[in-house]
Structure 1
Amino acid sequence: MSDSQRRQISGFSNPTIKRLKSLREKKHRKREGHFLAEGLRILTEALDAGKTPKLLVVVEETELHPLAQKLETETLAAGGEVIETSEAIIAKLSGKTNPQSIIGIYEDHPAPLAELDRSSSGIWLVAQALRDPGNLGTILRTGDAVGAGGLILIDDCVDPFSVEAVRASMGAIFTQQIVMSPWSEFLDWLRSGPGQLVGTSLNTDTDYQSATYAPPTFLLVGNEARGLPEDYEEACDMLVKMPMMGKADSLNAAVATAVMAYEVLNQRRK
């Protein structure tokens, strides 16, 4: 790809660089409707999922990997822009001292709850008041791994399009449908069609491996510190728990989601 098709930016004060850096903050992401993803692996996963960056940022005077060259070609072909800049500016955009050499800017893509096709998958992941972006990203990876239909975020969750969550998702942000919904709206939607709501809780004697999961199964995990509210548990079709053989009383939210998702998947495989 000819460098003449790139726009070169060398100054930290450039308005474009300032705008891209602002995408590290939620209020600016919401205003712009765009988010930042970094690294060749994640951007390649996006391309494989049919997502092309609106803007691609590459390090100047660096020979691009063939996959990065493909990204550049596809970005330009789709009407996007390619910017060439310094490693120092890339680091400023990334927020890391050892940044990846390529960054993409994408349109965020939350899906409306009403448009979800619950029959498209036998497993759906649901998280309530999740606060840690690493957990959110890991849950997205789990969803991709088990072939889940997507992740439904209930109430006030961490932004799935934050740099940290996108990084932790390792590209699953582009393969999983993401919905953000208040609890009451989600429950009304769920009860309007088929769907088994299964909550993880210590307030039950039902072992997660003894339960029978009916598709589509909606696996509900609560806040990392507080778990699920009592009325949310009461609304579930079934509560299950995983055995805790040590002194800890609960698993990390992302780990618990993965254990549950694979149990549901394994029942279907049998």
Structure 2
Amino acid sequence: MPREITAFSNPLVKQVRGLRDKKNRRSEGLFVAEGLRILTEALEAGFLPRILFFAKGTGHQLLSRLIEETEAGGGDVVETNADILHKLSGKDNPQTVLGVYEAFDTSLQRIDRSRAPLWIVAHSLRDPGNLGTILRTGDAVGAGGLILVDDCVDPFSVEAVRASMGALFTQSIATARWEDFLAWLRSGEGELIGTSLKGQQDYQQPAYGRPAFILIGNESQGLPEACEAECDVLVRIPMLGKADSLNAAVAAALMAYEVRNQWRRASAAS
């Protein structure tokens, strides 16, 4: 049976509220996800919350299933109110359901590149909205996951989890330094495809191989020269207006669909 918490001073409320801070997320190995849709996506992907909060009076078949599965898995289910959920999420209009999950192992060695022919790699990505959107794109194109290289934003921040709309639970995520990623990449099969204003080829010109690793640079500075030099293919997305580059998440989506469309056309022609 769910227990009820309505006091702001409750230790569990204080603990979960603290997970909005990166330092606390890392020390406790936990993160927060909000909303019935995202928590249902997590459940379908095999992830149960350690703690499930829901607003009193919320009635939904999916919530009933979440409560049942969480309790069966040994999790803690808490009935609360909108004020407590606001305190936990930091949103003026909080979702009626919130889950606390164990952070994933993000070691590069856990990634099985044979699991999918397409992967997205982000270098020094700083915006949590972009990170979440790239995860959604990866899910949409059937990518294996997202590899975050060097100083990237925390994928378990409330903003990144929210922007992923559940794709955080369907995509593998790894973090690594550039030199470690490069050594891992070159230890097996894989074509590194970089996007850059310095690219000599239009992004639709090359015939992309498998597995393909699409490398996206920092939002404001793009890819460092050292990264560009290591790319097997360096392409340029044409800009016909005054802007000199696309948003990082948009560029990732454009490249991912171009690679997928090439493979689809090749399969149809064979």
- Contact kept, 8 Å, 2:58 with 2:96, in 1: the verdict is no
Q: Counterpart of 1:81?
A: 76
Aligned to 2:32: 36
Please list, as runs of the form range in 1=range in 2, the aligned pairs for 1:193-208 lying within 5 A after superposition.
Answer: 193-208=188-203
- SS at 1:218's partner residue? strand
CA distance in 2, matches of 1:78, 1:167: 24
Residue matched to 2:161: 166
Q: Which runs of 5+ in 1 are unaligned?
A: none
Equivalent in the alignment of 1:21: 17
TM-score (norm: length of structure 1): 0.97
Task: Choose 160-169 or 114-123, whichever is displaced more.
Answer: 114-123
**Which of 219, 234, 239 in structure 2 is aligned with 1:239?**
234
C-alpha RMSD over aligned residues: 0.7
| 1:104 CA drift (Å) | 0.5
Measured after TM superposition, the shift of residue 86 of structure 1 is 1.4
Among 128, 131, 138, the residue aligned to 1:133: 128
CA distance in 2, matches of 1:205, 1:184: 25
Tell me the CA shift for residue 205 of structure 1. Answer: 1.9
Structure 1 runs (4+) deviating above 3 angstroms are: none
Shift of 1:6: 1.1
Give the superposition deviation at 1:254.
0.2
Measured after TM superposition, the shift of residue 131 of structure 1 is: 0.3
Q: Give the equivalent residue in structure 1 for 2:140.
A: 145
TM-aligned CA deviation for residue 269 of structure 1: 1.0
Q: Shift in Å at residue 110 of structure 1?
A: 3.2
Distance 2:170 2:105 in 1: 12
CA contact (8 A) 1:110 1:177 kept: no
Matched, 1:58 2:35: no
Output one character per residue of 1:119-156: Cα deviation in whole Å (capped at 9) or x when no partner.
11110000000000000000000000001011000001
Rounded to whole Å, the distance in 2 between the matches of 1:110 and 1:250 is: 33
**What displacement does 1:85 show?**
1.1
Conserved in 1, the CA contact under 8 Å of 2:144 and 2:171?
A: yes
| AA in 2 matched with 1:239 | L
Q: Deviations over 1:26-66 (max 9, x none)?
A: 00000111100000000000001011111100112x14210
**Whole-angstrom distance in 1 between the partners of 2:109 and 2:70:** 31
Equivalent position of 2:268 in the other structure: none
Indicate if the aligned counterparts of 1:75 and 1:82 stay in contact, CA closer than 8 A. yes
Distance 1:26 1:123 in 2: 29
Counterpart amino acid of residue 17 in structure 1? V
What code does the residue aligned with 2:163 have?
A: A
Q: 1:189 aligns with which of 184, 190, 204?
A: 184
Q: Which region of structure 1 is more displaced relative to structure 2, 137-146 or 112-121?
A: 112-121
